Structure 1
Amino acid sequence: MTDTTQDRLAPDDRLPHRVDTAPWDPEEVEHLSPEQERFTTASQWWMVWWKLRRHRLAVISGVILLLLYASTLVSEVLAPYAVDSRHSRFIHAPPQAVHLFHEGQFVGPFVYGYRYNLDLETLRREYTPDPAKVQPIRFVCRGDPYQFWGLVETNWHLACPAEGGTLFLLGTDRLGRDLLSRMIYGTRISLTIGLIGITVSFVLGITIGGIAGYYGGWVDNLIQRLIEIIRSFPELPLWMALSAALPVTWNPIFVYFGITVILGLLEWTGLARAVRSKLLALREEDFTTAAQLMGAKPSRIIGRHLLPSFMSHLIASATLAIPGMILGETALSFLGLGLRPPITSWGVLLTEAQNINVVALYPWLMLPVVPVIVTVLSFNFLGDGLRDAADPYR
């Protein structure tokens, strides 16, 4: 600005000839509390965890799932009997209730033995509790031998029946096998099949959805048409057709992995669409353009810059997809097209309850449906909590 212009300005509007260089007083600056500083410097994962903790139902569901998955590591120890241990004298025996007092005296955890009677008119086995047979429950004891994870031969159990007694807390099946023990063994198969299936689905969904969202154009159109074709097939009949194609002569382990791959191959479409929609928006951001100008390859841009931006959302989506795979395996095994004996899963156990007459006489054979319901609800509640916690707009 020239001197002439400076002279025409009012005295208050003129530029100052000197700058105030008063020293900076640190006491005048507002200090953050430790809690505020911790929040402002927290990572995305920490903020997701803080918001998730306020979702009580999601936290409780997460604890239940952790306990269920932890039990799969020691299924042989938790089960009172071996998975195929048969008791021919106690076929279709009802559940035994646990008692603490006998005739007014404290005995500790025990069950009453059975009093057996055969109805000659209906040929039905009738079992009633016998108060004369007090059978204390033993803890950390030796019982049926087994191979821990198929490697170590041992016979230690968390709980065992009394010597010469029985411990059928959930009753027995048509071969006299303890239902509780078989449900505990089935937990390992039914829960892990969901994790392995979601891993296959996760890899396919992220890869194919990432390619469609990053490149767009004819590549996106081709992948979207493929997804629509797959989703147009009825889900259960397609599962049944692919499962029936597995050779009957296969080893049960191969059948297990075959069912897992089938579930994963059919469940990746929803995840792929979620990844594609996110990448279509993120590829227009400045950090993506900067990475492209620096010469980064598309695989690096997708894997190191785009996917981490919404990984919490992907984890929530995966959590909601696992129950579908567990229900798929249960349905296939119930129909006889999934896992087959000697593999034990919740769906295999439910094949005992296909006859309505059997269920009417022995309703405890329907108990394997309880862990299925608990697991599916827990995954759904946990998935809802994770989705809310991962949403940056909430």
Structure 2
Amino acid sequence: MTTTGHHDRTGEHFVDPTPFNPHTSRELTPEQERFFQASQWKIMWWKFRRHRVAVWSAVVLFLFYLCVPFAEVIAPYEANTRDSKYLFAPPQGVHLFHEGSLRTPFVYPLKAKIDMKTLQWTYEEDRRKPMPLRFFCSGDDYQFWGLFKADFHLVCPPKGGTFYLLGTDRLGRDQFSGLVYGARLSLTVGLVGVAISIVLGLFFGGIAGYFGGFVDSLIQRVIEIMRSLPELPLWMALSAALPVTWSPVWIYFGLTIILGLLDWPGLARAVRSKLLALREEEYAQAAVLMGAKPSRVISKHLLPGFTSHIIASATLSIPGMILGETALSFLNLGLRRPSVSWGVMLNEAQNISVVTVYPWLMAPVIPIIIVVLAFNFLGDGLRDAADPYK
């Protein structure tokens, strides 16, 4: 923004504070002035808000990630609680009306019996006796974040009854509680894996793009070798190499490290291409002439120039990490019980004949699809917001 200079009748020079646009020779509107004075991040936020699908995707992901710290409170049962009386129980519907009268949310009790012809469990609702759900109540005991023992739940089954919103599996474990607990591992494995991928991608991509020459050629050959290997078989081989004697925590960290180590080449190439262009800019050359070390030039002057693009790329990589963990756990090469993830739950649905009879075992597919689509839409919105030409 510039100002115009004028002379009054006495010949004295004074400065006109009115904003002036040199391209149009017209005064800037308040909206234009606010835009020109805004920071890069504020402009990105304004552009992102116009992407309605991306905004709603961010809201959906926020709700899903609420399950990560509060899974024990949200789930009506502990993830591995078994009920031998209700094996393969169907989903129980929540009702508000009984015989035409409005009631608090309730469920009808299930009557279980074995069909002697097919040797399958069958269930019928007893609609004569509605059983109200309990809210903000005491239920199954749990260790909240492993710190202290508690039993508080948002919703609990009725006294002497059950509340299986999405049915149960072959051991009588509640599917809905499993989905809530599984979100903790399935959603965080993507974040931890992408964090490892970003660190490695920025490091190797920054070195290759800044120094070039032999260092660049060596890193590029390593990237080409890694990208030429089939991804899923490599995941399977590395996951199978994890000792079965490891605890679930070590298996989780081992899996995230594997996913992160195999995902960094794509980001490294993007960082390299950006640095090859930015290292010739005047501000980068000025920093070198002032005696700045290469690590400072890369971290303080070059990388911040496209941080927004890195965030968008990382957001688009998280769905791949989630699907990778799901695939490995589904094949029994990733996380295993007593750990609970969406892939571990899908492991129960490997037998197609069982799925046709008990379709609710496929319930984990729904949150996986929603989360992957939400991340893709969010990544598209961030990428468009970070693009200076849009």
Per the shorter chain, which TM-score range? over 0.9
Pair 1:314 & 2:310 matched: yes
Q: Give unmatched runs, 5+ long, in structure 1.
A: 1-19
What is the alpha-carbon distance in structure 2 between the residues aligned to residue 157 and residue 90 of structure 1?
22
Work out which of the residue numbers 293, 298, 301 in structure 1 matches 2:297.
Answer: 301
| Alignment correspondent of 2:32 | 36
Amino acid at match of 1:382: L
| Cα distance in 2 for residues equivalent to 1:65 and 1:225 | 37
Change (3 A) 1:348 1:26: same
User: TM (normalized to structure 1)?
Assistant: 0.93
Of 365, 387, 391, the residue aligned with 2:387 is: 391
Q: Report the Cα distance in structure 2 between the residues aligned to 1:33 and 1:283, rounded to whole angstroms.
A: 37
CA distance in 1: counterparts of 2:18 and 2:142, whole angstroms: 72
Aligned to 1:126: 122
**CA displacement, residues 314-353 of structure 1 (integer Å, 9 cap, x when unaligned):** 0000000000000000000000101111110000000000
**Comparing 117-126 with 169-178, which one deviates more in the overlay?**
117-126
In the other structure, the counterpart of 2:199 is 203
In structure 1, the residue matched to 2:224 is 228
Does the alignment pair 1:96 with 2:86? no
Give the equivalent residue in structure 1 for 2:61.
Answer: 65
User: Partner of 1:163 in structure 2?
Assistant: 159
Which residue of the partner structure matches residue 346 of structure 1? 342
| 1:182 is the counterpart of 2:178 | yes
Query: How big is the shift at 1:379?
Result: 0.4
Matched, 1:249 2:248: no
Contact 2:204/2:219 (CA < 8 Å) preserved in 1?
yes
What secondary structure sits across from 1:109 in the alignment? Answer: strand
1:107-122 aligned within 5 A: 107-122=103-118
The answer to whether the 8 Å contact 2:85/2:112 transfers is no
Q: What is the one-letter code of the residue matched to 1:201?
A: S
**What residue is the counterpart of 1:11 in the other structure?**
none
Q: How does 1:3-22 map to 2 (within 5 A)?
A: 21=11
The match for 1:26 is 16
Residue in structure 1 matched with residue 52 of structure 2 by the alignment? 56
Q: 2:293 is aligned with what amino acid?
A: K
Match of 1:375 in 2: 371
Q: Give the Å deviation of 1:36.
A: 3.2
TM-superposed deviation, 1:69: 1.1
Percent of aligned pairs with the same residue? 64
Say whether 1:274 aligns with 2:270: yes
Residues 24, 328 of structure 1: CA spacing in aligned structure 2 closer, same or farther, 3 A cutoff?
same
1:145 matched to 2:135? no
Query: What is the distance in 2 between the residues matched to 1:147 and 1:107?
Result: 34
**Match of 1:131, SS?**
coil
Tell me which residue corresponds to 2:281: 285
For residues 74 and 25 of structure 1, the distance between their equivalents in structure 2, rounded to whole angstroms, comes to 60
Q: Distance in 2 between matches of 1:96 and 1:70?
A: 24
CA distance 1:29–1:106, shift in 2 (3 Å): closer
The change in CA–CA distance for 1:29 and 1:362 in structure 2 (over 3 A counts) is closer
- Matched to 1:367, the amino acid is A
1:172 alignment partner, SS class: coil
Q: Which residue is equivalent to 2:82?
A: 86
Alignment partners' CA distance in 2, 1:305 and 1:29: 31
Helix, strand or coil: the match of 2:138? strand
Per-residue Cα deviation, 1:201-250 (whole angstroms, up to 9, x for no partner): 00000000000000111111110010000000000000000000111111
Instruction: Give the deviation of 1:24 after TM superposition.
Output: 3.2
Pairing 1:328–2:318 present: no
Structure 1 consecutive aligned stretches of length 4 or more whose deviation exceeds 4 Å: 27-34
Cα deviation for residue 25 of structure 1 reads 6.6
Q: What residue is the counterpart of 1:261 in the other structure?
A: 257
Unaligned runs of 5+ in 2: 1-9, 21-26
Distance 1:383 1:28 in 2: 40
Equivalent residue letter for 1:147 = Q
Partner SS, residue 85 of structure 2:
helix
Structure with higher Rg: it is 1
Q: Describe the shift of the 1:64–1:28 C-alpha distance in structure 2 as closer, same or farther (beyond 3 A).
A: closer
What root-mean-square deviation, in Å, do the aligned CA atoms of Structure 1 and Structure 2 show?
Answer: 1.5
Q: Deviations over 1:358-377 (max 9, x none)?
A: 10110000001111111100
Distance (Å, rounded) in 1 between the aligned partners of 2:11 and 2:234? 78
Q: Distance in 1 between matches of 2:125 and 2:160?
A: 16
Asked if structure 1 preserves the Cα contact closer than 8 Å seen for 2:67 and 2:181, the reply is: no
Q: What is the CA distance between 1:121 and its match in structure 2?
A: 1.0
Deviations 1:271-316 (A, max 9, x none): 0000000000001111111000000000000000000000000000
Q: Secondary structure at the match of 1:342?
A: coil
